[in-house]
Amino acid sequence: MSNLSFTIAVVFFLAALGILLMRHSRRVRRAANSDWEQLLDRLEPVNRSDIERIARDALDEESSALGEMDGSSMFSMLGGLQGLEVLERNCQVLIDLASYVQRWYPEALVVSEQLRLNARELEWHVGRLKGAAQTGNLQTAFADYAQRTVVIYYVMTRNVLELYTRASLPGLIQLEAAL
């Protein structure tokens, strides 16, 4: 009887490992096999001027404090948590764009690794906001995390563009239009 429970446990164990493998191999394959157009197609549209306004509000401040913009206006400009989730998904595309460069120019690794870390940081901030949404504290947490998320995203887009410009890579015009 106890051997039956062992077998059932192993079946669940192997199924869980199999599901994890399948889910993530799809992402690895997609990142490895995507060509330039496919990568750009994955970028979801965002309101660039609002993103820039929120980011500039913080970036232009000379002090060590965040900008003057309040949480509720940022919330409406970004489209709430859904808007930040779009930025999170776009971040994955930015990493893939950096990996795309790295495939051809391995020495660009140092920049793509930094972009990867930025994306992780952005995911962390969005994760905190999702947690806050579940506990009903989204409005309060939004002011704390949303601007950082937007600034990281903004800096990432600028740096990916700069990477492509400096490495004189083809497709820069399409990339600028997509970002």
Partner 1 sequence: MHLSAFDRLFWATGFIGQIILLVVLMARDRVRAFPLFTAMVASSFLSTFVMYFVYLYGSPESYYYGYWIVGTINMLLQLGMVYEIASCLFAPLGHWAQDAKSSFIRIVGISILVDIILTALCSPVKSTLMQTVVTRGTFFCSALMSELFVGLFVLAATGGFPWKTHVGRIAQGLGAYSFVGVLFDTTTSWMGWTHQASTIHALSMVKVVAYLGALTYWIVSLWYDAPEPRTLSEPMRAQIFGLHRQLEYDLGKIRGWRKI
Q: Is the Cβ of residue 41 or residue 113 nearer to partner 1 in the bound state? A: 113
- Please report how close the Cβ of residue 49 comes to partner 1 at its closest, in angstroms: 21
| Nearby residues of 35 by Cβ (< 8 Å), 6 or more positions away | none
- In Å, what is the CA distance from 122 to each residue of 44, 65, 94, 160, 167? 16, 19, 12, 16, 25
- Find the shortest distance in angstroms from Cβ 69 to partner 1: 11
Nearest CA among 37, 65, 68, 31 for reference residue 53:
68
> Least distance (Å) from partner 1 to the CB of residue 152?
6
**Tokens (6 digits) for 168:** 């004189």
Q: How far is the CB of 131 from partner 1 (least distance, A)?
A: 18
Query: To the nearest 10°, the Cα dihedral for 14, 15, 20, 24?
Result: 110
Task: Please give the residue ranges that form the binding site for partner 1 (CB under 8 A).
Answer: 2-3, 5-7, 9-10, 13-14, 17, 20-21, 24-25, 27-28, 31-32, 58, 64-66, 92, 95-96, 99, 102-111, 113-121, 143-144, 148, 151-152, 155, 159, 162-163, 166-168
Return the number of the residue (65 or 173) whose C-beta is nearest partner 1. 65
